[in-house]
Amino acid sequence: MPLNRDFVGREYQAAETYEVSRELIRRFAAAIGDNNPAYTDIEAAKALGHPDVIAPPTFLTVLTFRYAMSGPVVDPDLGLNYALVVHGEQKFVHHRPVRAGDVLKVVSSVVDIRDAGRNELMTTKTAVVTTEGEPIADLYGTLVSRGTAAA
Amino acid sequence: MSATVNYDDVEVGTELPAQTFTIQRVNLVQYCGASGDFNVIHWNERIAKAVGLPDVIAHGMYTMAEAGRVVTDWAGDPGAVVEYGVRFSAPVPVPDDDKGTELVVNGAVAEKLDGNRVAVDLDARVGETKVLMKARAVVQLA
- For the segment A10-62, what is each residue's pLDDT rounded down to a tens digit? 988 888 899 999 999 999 999 999 999 999 999 999 999 999 999 999 999 99
B34–A31 CB contact, under 8 Å? yes
A residues 109-138 closer than 8 Å to B (CB): none
One-letter amino acid for residue B38 of the chain: F
Q: Return per-residue pLDDT of chain B as tens, 142 residues.
A: 578 899 999 999 999 999 999 999 999 999 999 999 999 999 999 999 998 999 999 999 999 999 999 999 999 999 999 999 999 999 999 999 999 999 999 999 999 999 999 999 999 999 999 999 999 999 999 9
Give residue B4's pLDDT: 86
Per-residue pLDDT tens digits for A84-140: 888 899 999 999 999 999 999 999 899 999 999 999 999 999 999 999 999 999 999
B86–A91 CB contact, under 8 Å? yes
CA atoms of B126 and B15, how far apart (whole Å): 20
Chains A and B form CB pairs within 8 A to the count of 122
pTM for this structure? Answer: 0.93
Task: Say whether B83 sits in a helix, a strand or coil.
Answer: strand
Give yes or no for residue A69 having a pLDDT over 70: no
Distance, in angstroms, between A35 CA and closest chain B CA?
10
Closest CA to A34 of B81, B90, B119: B81
Task: Kindly identify which residue of chain A lies nearest to residue B44, measuring between CA atoms.
Answer: A83
Give residue A70's pLDDT: 64
Non-local (6+) Cβ contacts of A69 within 8 A are none
CA atoms of B139 and B115, how far apart (whole Å): 10
Closest CA to B112 of B18, B14, B17, B16: B14
Distance, in angstroms, between A143 CA and closest chain B CA?
10
Distance, in angstroms, between B121 CA and closest chain A CA?
14
**Portion of chain A with pLDDT greater than 70, in percent:** 98
> Which chain B residues are closer than 8 Å to A90 by Cβ?
60-61, 64, 85-86, 88
Is the distance from CB of A5 to CB of A113 less than 8 angstroms?
yes
**B22 at the A interface (CB within 8 A)?**
no
The ipTM, to two decimals, is 0.95
Give residue A85's pLDDT: 85
**B23 at the A interface (CB within 8 A)?**
no
